[in-house]
Amino acid sequence: MSAAPAPTLESLAADLSAGRTTSRALVEECLARIADPAGEGGRVFLGVDAEAARTAAEGMDRLRAAGAAPSPYAGIPVSVKDLFDIAGQVTRAGSRALDDAPPAASDAVAVARLRRAGFVVIGRTNMTEFAYSGLGINPHYGTPRNPWRREEGRVPGGSSSGAAISVTDGMAHAALGTDTGGSCRIPAAFTGLTGFKPTARRVPLEGSVPLSGTLDSIGPIARSVGCCAVLDAVLADEPLRPLDMLALDGLRLLVPETVALDGLEEAVATAFEAALSRLSRAGARITRAPVPEFSAVAEMNALGGYTASESYHWHRPLLERRGADYDPRVSSRIRRGAGMSAADYLDLQRARGDFIRRVVARISGFDALVMPTAPILPPRIAALADEAAYTAANLAALRNPTLVNMMDGCAISVPAARPPEAPVGLMLAGAAGQDRRLLALAAAVETVLAA
């Protein structure tokens, strides 16, 4: 007998409305899973707001009883990546180097918007230190283990590692993450979840520790496209309204043959091709064609790109004071920014501007790009002790998502395979500002792939 599907935000909202559950009950269930000594809670959360969550839940239950709940989702527990300020708490960004920082005076804008909609913050989730990797390994606080073949100790994906596992393991019902080069989409792809990267300017960055101000975006990791759409509306401060699913029949999807399909592991290639076949049978028009502009991304980032240059600017004083407390794999990558000159940075700006114009023109006749989210399956943590293996896996995981960040687009990863198959993500992407239409398209794709 198969297990019941994990609840979505819509199903939880319906249960709360009908009195089948309460916010306090949902919070207690999540806290119990976090505290389970046989579970991943100790590696997933860097801080748990148990009493604050209980108090908030009770408040939401009273508001709902009075007919005054701030949204249908009021009272649902969510997790927050350790990159975000929460009033009264120290934001460590998964690092030891910030453990002496003063507590935040106020919530980050994204956190404040979640609270305003009535979501209950259950705690702060673990992450790659300073968000600088797509694998999710953290030597300071431990690495949450992927639910797929958990006994083998596989990476969860990063940098929003704890965010994803908080959802897969029922410690929260959705998670707030960030995405600079795939940090929402890679963990989602590696764990069978859905991760949305909005257009970079869609959600304010205030109150979050930056990686790259140019590329950083704030988005959700959750159990469905619908869940991501709800959270996206809240985070973007837009009205909550039903997502109008697009009909797949006749929609044009472009599979880029340049870079995005290179070196796919067999299981990824098989799941991706099977997903394309199902979408084609549902009426989608699949076109495979080169996108030669994608071959320029590696060269644009050869000196470290925006992540190295812009992160070094922010980290330089902290590296001088607490550099020994960084993960060397992170600090070495940040320090690459010291070697970039102002001329190098301006060259990158010009090259990216041209890249965006050319890619947007090339894809203008299509409804979305479609490609594997990552070309690899989640590797074993132990296998990445070797620096060469770590670097190769990290670059592979980040490669396809980074294409979208560099083109200033929006993207979503949905599961292309279902358990017991290995987790593989299918990524849909569009140009800047097409967020809601992309979500509507992704909802249709999800329906076909989940059938």
Active site residue ranges: 81, 159, 183
Asked whether 409 and 199 are in contact (CB, 8 A), the reply is yes
Residue 383: alpha-carbon gap to chain centroid: 24
Alpha-carbon distance of 391 to 437, in angstroms, equals 35
CA geometry: angle 408, 263, 145, nearest 5 deg: 80
How many C-beta atoms lie closer than 10 Å to residue 451's C-beta? 7
Token output for 388: 């060469």
Asked whether 428 and 445 are in contact (CB, 8 A), the reply is yes
What's the number of CA atoms in the CB half-sphere (13 Å) around residue 225?
30
How many C-beta atoms lie closer than 10 Å to residue 180's C-beta? 28
Asked whether 265 and 376 are in contact (CB, 8 A), the reply is yes
Alpha-carbon distance of 125 to 43, in angstroms, equals 9
DSSP calls for 230-245: HHHHHHTT-------P
Alpha-carbon distance of 200 to 204, in angstroms, equals 9
Q: How far is CA 14 from CA 86, 163, 215, in A?
A: 29, 24, 36
Instruction: For residue 122, give the amino acid letter.
Output: I
Asked whether 325 and 98 are in contact (CB, 8 A), the reply is no
149 torsion bin: left (phi>0), alpha (psi -120 to 50), beta (else) = left
Alpha-carbon distance of 74 to 60, in angstroms, equals 6
Give me the phi and psi of 395, to 5 degrees please: -65, -40
| Strand ranges of the sheet holding 120-125, from the earlier edge strand across to the other edge | 45-48, 120-125, 77-81, 175-179, 217-222, 194-197, 410-415, 425-430, 368-372, 252-256, 285-289
